[in-house]
């Protein structure tokens, strides 16, 4: 299946256009990040195997057994220090690189977004609700180093958070496992079409939509359906709405907390999320599962897609390297996600055991896979 709008590199009017020097900086970030995942990426394991492990075994007569055992010895290793410092710098450089062109283009983008919001030809809608509060687990945090975080909302026209999210995400995902395209929605839609063809959704909800990159493909794949997308951040939603309008797909964006959306019971046939769960807290996750159960009509389906980062998949060193996200990339909920039992959570939220699915699904456009977990509501 081919979804035109599922490409991350898709061009549309809301994108900032980097000039020659900005593009050169973006290319440098790409190659630095590429090296950090290939050659330089071997540095933590080399430090572990050649120095930390033998020293630990000598001192304690056994191999390290927990992430805590590794924390201090690895932090003292120059090879690991170099990898960690470069990884942090690459992330900062990424935001600087895309931030420069966005800052220059911001007035044009804000004017365009306002025009699209107020146009008689608009296809979807935008509903902001300032009384919706940013949850403390992402408020005041520059999640994955994004300047201003998801919360940035400086004026009634501010679109910067969404613009940064999309352009940063484009740069982040190129040349690495995700490939050149946003495979998330394409991957999940493909799964639904193959395994839940009887669903035929008429109302769809995308939770934690950010810039709306993964919301729009549902409007394309299910043209008969009314597609809704929610997020907490106003600056994300203004951008997402303008982006969808400029692509000419109808999506209804609104500012709501996925824990308590305010939509009526049984309102949706299909609920999806993409990369939401690795950023929600231990308290919030179960509430979101329960809200999905409440919002689905009998027989409706929910599917969440996220990174296949569960700890049980990896040896201790790779778990430690994954945990770098928590300590150095402002991903405070990472440990919650990587130890979450998705099946148990879905069951606790009321989904019948026999409908629960927890699986890996290959990406549509590159090596690797996504992690899917979902279920159908009892009929």
What token pair was written down for 22? Answer: 């900005």
Which of residues 230 and 247 has its CB atom nearest to ligand SAM in the complex?
Answer: 230
Longest CA–CA span in the chain (Å) reads 73
- In the bound complex, which residue of the shown chain has the CB atom lying closest to ligand SAM? 208
Residue 329 as a binder of ligand SAM (CB under 6 A): the answer is no
In the complex, the smallest distance separating the C-beta of residue 3 from ligand SAM, rounded to whole angstroms, is 14
Which of residues 91 and 284 has its CB atom nearest to ligand SAM in the complex?
Answer: 284
Residue 214 as a binder of ligand SAM (CB under 6 A): the answer is yes
Of positions 181, 184, 238, 376, contacts ligand SAM by CB under 6 A = 184
Cα within 13 Å of Cα(282), Cβ side: 5
**Residue 304 phi, psi (nearest 5):** -105, 140
Across 116-149, b (16+ Cβ under 10 Å) vs e yields: beeeeebebebebeeebebbebbeebbbbbbebb
Q: Which of residues 35-74 bind ligand SAM (CB under 6 A)?
A: none
- Which x/- pattern over 95-134 shows residues binding ligand SAM (rule: CB under 6 A)? ----------------------------------------
Which of residues 71 and 283 has its CB atom nearest to ligand SAM in the complex?
Answer: 283
Radius of gyration of the chain (CA): 21
Of positions 230, 240, 247, 295, contacts ligand SAM by CB under 6 A = 230
Of positions 254, 284, 310, 319, contacts ligand SAM by CB under 6 A = 284
Categorise residue 119: left if φ over 0, alpha if ψ from -120 to 50, beta otherwise: beta
Of positions 275, 326, 329, 355, contacts ligand SAM by CB under 6 A = 275
What token pair was written down for 2? Answer: 């081919």
Percentages of the chain per state (helix, strand, coil), in multiples of 5:
50, 15, 35
Alpha carbon distance 364, 104 (integer Å): 34
* Residue position matching structure tokens 């390297």: 321
In the complex, the smallest distance separating the C-beta of residue 328 from ligand SAM, rounded to whole angstroms, is 17
Residue 345 as a binder of ligand SAM (CB under 6 A): the answer is no
Query: Judged by CB under 6 A, which stretch of 40-48, 121-129, 226-234, 341-349 contacts ligand SAM?
Result: 226-234
**Residue 372 phi, psi (nearest 5):** -115, 140
Which of residues 179 and 208 has its CB atom nearest to ligand SAM in the complex?
Answer: 208
Query: Judged by CB under 6 A, which stretch of 25-33, 44-52, 172-180, 271-279 contacts ligand SAM?
Result: 271-279
- Which x/- pattern over 144-183 shows residues binding ligand SAM (rule: CB under 6 A)? ------x---------------------------------
In the complex, the smallest distance separating the C-beta of residue 338 from ligand SAM, rounded to whole angstroms, is 15
Listing DSSP states for 176-188 in one string gives: STTTTS-HHHHHH
Of positions 34, 135, 139, 266, contacts ligand SAM by CB under 6 A = 135
Check if the beta carbon of residue 253 is closer than 8 Å to that of residue 307: no
Which of residues 22 and 306 has its CB atom nearest to ligand SAM in the complex?
Answer: 306
Q: Which of residues 238-257 bind ligand SAM (CB under 6 A)?
A: 257
Alpha carbon distance 354, 333 (integer Å): 29
Residue 231 as a binder of ligand SAM (CB under 6 A): the answer is yes
What token pair was written down for 60? Answer: 């304690």
Which of residues 5 and 257 has its CB atom nearest to ligand SAM in the complex?
Answer: 257
Residue 232 as a binder of ligand SAM (CB under 6 A): the answer is yes
Of positions 16, 116, 219, 236, contacts ligand SAM by CB under 6 A = 236
**Residue 308 phi, psi (nearest 5):** -80, 75
Alpha carbon distance 15, 334 (integer Å): 29
Alpha carbon distance 345, 336 (integer Å): 12
3-state class of 217 per DSSP? Answer: helix
Residue 292 as a binder of ligand SAM (CB under 6 A): the answer is no
Listing DSSP states for 67-113 in one string gives: HHHHHHHHHT-HHHHHHHHHHHHHHHHHHHHHHHHHHHHHHHHHHHH
What token pair was written down for 175? Answer: 């040349």
Q: Which residues bind ligand SAM (CB under 6 A)?
A: 135, 138, 150, 184, 207-210, 213-214, 230-233, 236, 257-259, 274-276, 279-280, 284
């Amino acid at each position: 299946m081919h979804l035109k709008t599922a490409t991350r590199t898709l061009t549309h009017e809301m994108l900032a256009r980097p000039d020659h020097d900005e593009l050169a900086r973006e290319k440098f970030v790409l190659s630095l990040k590429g090296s950090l995942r290939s050659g330089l990426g071997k540095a933590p394991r080399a430090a572990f195997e050649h120095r930390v492990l033998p020293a630990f075994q000598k001192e304690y007569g056994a191999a390290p057994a927990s992430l805590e055992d590794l924390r201090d010895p690895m932090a003292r290793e120059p090879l690991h220090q170099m990898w960690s410092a470069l990884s942090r710098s690459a992330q900062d450089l990424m935001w600087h690189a895309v931030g420069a062109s966005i800052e220059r283009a911001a007035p044009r983008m804000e004017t365009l977004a306002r025009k699209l919001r107020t146009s008689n030809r608009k296809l979807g809608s935008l509903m902001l609700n300032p009384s919706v509060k940013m949850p403390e687990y992402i408020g005041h945090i520059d999640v994955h180093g994004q300047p201003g975080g998801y919360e940035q909302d400086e004026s009634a026209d501010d679109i910067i958070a969404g613009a940064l999210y999309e352009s940063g995400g484009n740069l982040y995902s190129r040349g690495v496992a995700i490939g050149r395209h946003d495979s998330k929605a394409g991957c999940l839609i493909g799964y639904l079409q193959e395994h839940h063809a009887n669903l035929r959704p008429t109302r769809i909800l995308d939770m934690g939509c950010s810039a709306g990159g993964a919301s729009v493909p549902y409007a394309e794949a299910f043209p008969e359906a009314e597609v809704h997308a929610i997020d907490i951040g106003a600056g994300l939603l203004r951008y997402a709405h303008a982006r969808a309008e400029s692509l000419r797909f109808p999506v209804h964006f609104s500012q709501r907390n996925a824990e308590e959306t305010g939509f009526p019971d049984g309102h949706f046939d299909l609920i999806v999320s993409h990369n939401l769960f690795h950023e929600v807290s231990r308290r919030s996750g179960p509430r979101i599962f329960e809200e999905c159960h409440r919002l689905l009509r009998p027989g409706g389906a929910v599917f969440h897609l996220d990174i296949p980062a569960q700890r049980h998949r990896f040896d201790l060193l790779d778990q430690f390297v994954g945990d770098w996200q928590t300590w150095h990339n402002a991903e405070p909920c990472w440990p919650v996600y990587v130890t979450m039992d998705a099946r148990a959570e879905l069951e606790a939220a009321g989904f019948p055991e026999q409908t629960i699915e927890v699986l890996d699904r290959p990406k549509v456009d590159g090596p690797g896979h996504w992690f899917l977990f979902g279920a159908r509501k009892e009929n």
